[in-house]
Amino acid sequence: MQKNDRRRIKREPKYCLDNSVVGDSWRMFRIMSEFVEGFDALSALDVPVVTIYGSARTTTDNPYYKLAEELAGKLAQAGYGIITGGGPGIMEAANKGAFEAGGISIGLNIHLPHEQTPNAYINFPLHFKYFFVRKVMFMKYSMAFICMPGGFGSLDELFESLTLIQTQSVKPFPVILIGSDFWGGLLEWIKDKFITNGTISKDNLLLIDVMDDVDSVVSYIKKTVVV
């Protein structure tokens, strides 16, 4: 291929929901293929799985990294598979804990403009281009959600899971926030603004559990999600 030919090849832009080198009708087939691949792979699992998510920016010397690694390891030893977003930070820690404990370590990696490289501790990898397809996989196949400290992405997953449970779109499952110091301010704001203004009911807060101790989390999940 000549140099000028390479220049004429159109590449899909980074804003994949706004633009495409192919039309929306053709993009539908790629979306469908991601759903089919994800459903086929994850429906074959013969163990209950738990999602652990949190910041991709968490460093290996951060206490929450070590906490996620320990938690995932103990859940794997108890017979649970671990699902993460497949990237660095908390995701890597959780996959590492599950992997080194001999468990199923699932990574649902997402292709980003600044490409996210899958971490080295995944033994069940899946790759996605579209966030919404990837989120369906988390919601459909996870029996519990554990949210470690994170950013916008973690909040997106957290509030989507709570919305689906609140609206009875999915069967209720445990939603556990790890780190009372980190999440305390958010919960106080929800009480002060949401409940005070009547945008949610007091009972909606019962959908969330806040914990700090790894063994307490494992014990709670073992009581609510039977292997």
Confidence (pTM): 0.88
Q: How confident is the model at residue 2 (pLDDT cuts 50, 70, 90)?
A: very low
Structure-block tokens of residue 98: 């599950």
The confidence band for 22, taking pLDDT boundaries of 50, 70 and 90, is low
What is the DSSP secondary-structure string of 151-186?
-HHHHHHHHHHHHHHHTTSS----EEEE-HHHHHHH
Does residue 195 form part of some domain?
Answer: no
How confident is the model over 175-187, as a mean pLDDT? Answer: 97
State the DSSP code for 190: I
Q: Is residue 188 assigned to a domain? A: no
Q: pLDDT tens for residues 51-80?
A: 999 999 999 999 999 999 999 999 999 999
CATH code for the domain of 216: 3.40.50.450
Nearest in space to 225 (alpha carbons), one of 172, 189, 181, 178: 172
Q: Which amino acid is at 3?
A: K
- H helix runs in 9-52, sequence order: 24-43
| Residue range 144-162, pLDDT digits in tens | 999 999 999 999 999 999 9
Report in angstroms the alpha-carbon separations of 114 from 110, 111, 152, 224: 11, 8, 17, 38
13 falls within a domain:
no
Range of the domain at 170: 24-179+206-224
Q: Is 2 among the domain residues?
A: no
* Residue 12 predicted with pLDDT over 70: no
- Examine residue 145 and state whether it is found in any structural domain, yes or no: yes
What is the average per-residue pLDDT within 92-99? 98
Q: How many domains does the chain have?
A: 1
